[in-house]
Chain A
Amino acid sequence: MAGSAPLQWRIIVGTKEDGATGVARSQQEPEMLVYIIRRLMQAALVMVVMSAVVFAGIYVIGDPVAMMISPDASEVEREAVRVTLGLDQPTWRQYLTFVGDALHGDFGKSFLAGQPAMGLIFERMPATMELAVASLILSLLIGLPMGVYAGLRPHAPGSKAIMTGSILGFSLPNFWVGLMLIMVFAVLLPDLIPWWPRLPASGRGTTVNLLGVPVSFLTADGLLHLILPALTLAFYKGALIVRLARATAREVLPMDYIKFARAKGLSENRIVGVHVLKNIMIPIATVSGLEFGQTVAFAVVTETVFSWPGMGKLLIDSILLLDRPVVVAYLVVIVFFFVILNLVVDLLYSVLDPRVRLESRAT
């Protein structure tokens, strides 16, 4: 199984190919543990450095008090607000207080909402995750069939159109795609064609609680609200999946087991649907996992365009209003998320393909 891992996958994910076909289990386990510990230490270092940089930077450039209270407030009132927020302390002490609190899971209160910053982010997180997962599913549903088709018939006009289209998907900026979708599906088409449904272009619509978490996809109204943002976010990822599926399909097709399947007289549907698809899925799954972080990052843009109440929109609002605790808390969450995601993907490689040695990636 591992021997048939397509070359393209290794090129795209950038792993090294070495002669060793497998490392003895007993040898690999302590190595893996050392590797995980080292990565976690690196992660901690990155998080400390980034929180310090952002903390210092946001402290230096703006005075949050000036934005929060009216300009004709007296100096005494101003000072009182400053003291309540802890802004009268020296910067280094504010940072140390912040780090001390952070280790207890307390990232301070939002200047504007007055709620704990971390709570605010966790409150918004399900909306972002729902959007990201919906766009992932959508990009697979659209990208995979197109990519496999382009791989099976590389010279058909349809394939060429798909490949040119994927260049567009790659290059057009996310917010631009969102704007065009709003223009076409929320303004132009419903205006021109009377029976055309007007797709909502802002907000989450009606939500219902699923295990205590509000979700949109279980109500019809919520689903309608989900369509445009998810499609926007799926655009880039879909283009990536098209290219990947085409490349891997073209590599799998000349393989012996496909020839053997043909020789057995299996139907084309079964060959493509089972034998080809099975071998394409490994790289698709890996890259989808890797790209999930990108999707969450780009959700910042999509959420702003569609006023989707996720943590990306919260970040932009907080940046524009200098709500420092929320920005720093978002940063800590997202760095943590990325470090864990990268670690999981790296570990998955070694599970999926034993030839990828952890050490070669660690150094």
Chain B
Amino acid sequence: MTDSALEPVAAVRPQTPFQRVVSDFCESRLAVFGLVLVVISAFVALFAPWISPQNPFDIASLDLLDAKVPPGTVSGDGKMVYWLGTDGQARDMLSAIFYGMRISLFVGAVSVVVALAIGVVVGLVAAYAGGKVDALLMRIVDLMLSFPAILVALILLSVLGKGIDKVLFALILVQWAYFARAARGAALVERNKEYVEAATCLALPASRIVFRHMLPNCMPSLIVIATITLARAIALEATLSFLGVGVPVTQPSLGMLISNGFEFLLSGSYWISFFPGVALAIAIVGINLAGDQLRDVLNPRNLR
């Protein structure tokens, strides 16, 4: 990455690799828009307990007379306005969405981080060891990837039952193989480079070469895959919860909220399903728009 200093352009206007990534990223207005959507989603998720008008889990604060009122209705006690309406249990949809976003993003982010960690270890070990270890590990990866994630997760959750921990387990299981394959691919390229040869000549331990020397150079492509996988993970969790095998009723994610409102959709109470759906789309599309540009910016061909 340091050899960008050798280019004439960089000599005129010195830029750290990070600055270059930032300025390249900002070239696309659509990507910046996506990033803004992501920041808003993350903000809402982090600060849900403080910015929500109502605590949707506190049954005492719910007034059943306010159930299924349309957006903009003033609550029965006159204290607040239901900007996005209420659901069948008189929960303020805006608050429910804030809390739902919290659960959706939490499940997505944790599953991607763990899957990334597992996948990186498997992929790097396979690439560095080669031979039979590589063949065996990649056979397992191929097997995992030959079945659609949705079906594997669905079957697994039908066995395990509901629960956030179980959803996390299912998401990690269907995602690690993507990272393993990507990490192996990137590491195979790095493996033949001179710095790895130099480190080998210094008789450094294999674990140090793999994790301190090769891994940092594989990171750009892994980050790109992580962003796209994060969007997929959030969508998958929402789908599973919609189908009724995901998160439990006590911890409604966005998918669960949409599912709850589905029965009211045809009778005209569109807001119970629609607004959580919009929130879900904002998060997923934001991540994908930003990730799409990140892929172009972090492309190894542009880094040199």
Identify the A interface with B (CB < 8 A): 46, 50, 53-54, 57-58, 61, 164, 167-168, 170-176, 179-180, 182-183, 186-188, 191, 201, 293-294, 297-298, 300-301, 304-305, 315-316, 319-320, 327, 331, 334-335, 338, 342, 363
Contact = CB atoms under 8 A, between A and B. Distances in A.
Q: Give me the 7 closest cross-chain CB pairs, A-B, nearest first.
A: A57-B159, A297-B148, A171-B288, A319-B158, A173-B235, A297-B151, A175-B242
B161 interface: yes
Given A174-B239, A179-B265, A187 B270 contact: yes
A201 B267 CA distance: 12
Nearest to A171: B288
B137 to A, nearest CB: 13
B238 A173 contact: yes
A175 B160 CA distance: 23
Contacts of B38: none
A54 B154 CA distance: 11
Most chain B beta-carbon contacts within 10 A, residue among A54, A168, A176, A188: A176
A293 B265 CA distance: 30
Contacts of A297: 148, 150-151
Interface in B259-283: 262, 265-266, 268, 270, 273-274, 277, 280-281
Given A297-B148, A301-B242, 4 more contacts: A175-B238, A176-B280, A183-B273, A187-B268
Given A183-B274, A320-B244, A363-B135, A176 B155 contact: no
Most chain B beta-carbon contacts within 10 A, residue among A167, A171, A327, A338: A171
Nearest to A58: B159
A168 B288 CA distance: 8
Nearest to B288: A171
Contact of A301 (B158, B239, B284): B239
B158 A327 contact: yes
Nearest to B273: A179
Most chain B beta-carbon contacts within 10 A, residue among A46, A50, A179, A331: A179
Interface string B129-168: 0000001000000010011101100110011110000000
B294 interface: no
Contacts of B155: 50, 54, 327, 331
Interface residues of B, number: 41
B164 to A, nearest CB: 17
Contacts of B150: 297-298, 300-301
Contacts of A305: 262
Given A179-B258, A182-B266, A316-B244, A172 B239 contact: no
B265 A187 contact: yes
Given A172-B281, A183-B274, A319-B245, A338 B147 contact: yes
Contacts of B274: 179, 183
B190 interface: no
Contacts of B239: 173-175, 301
A136 to B, nearest CB: 16
A176 B160 contact: no
Contact of A61 (B161, B244, B262): B161
A186 B266 contact: yes
21 contacts: A54-B158, A171-B231, A171-B287, A173-B238, A173-B255, A173-B284, A175-B242, A176-B281, A179-B273, A179-B277, A183-B274, A201-B266, A293-B148, A297-B148, A305-B262, A319-B158, A327-B155, A327-B158, A331-B155, A338-B146, A342-B146
A170 B148 contact: no
A168 B265 contact: no
Contacts of B158: 54, 57-58, 319, 327
B243 interface: yes
Contacts of B146: 338, 342
Contact of A53 (B147, B159, B231, B266): B159
Most chain A beta-carbon contacts within 10 A, residue among B148, B160, B270, B288: B148
Contacts of A57: 158-160
A172 B287 CA distance: 11
B67 interface: no
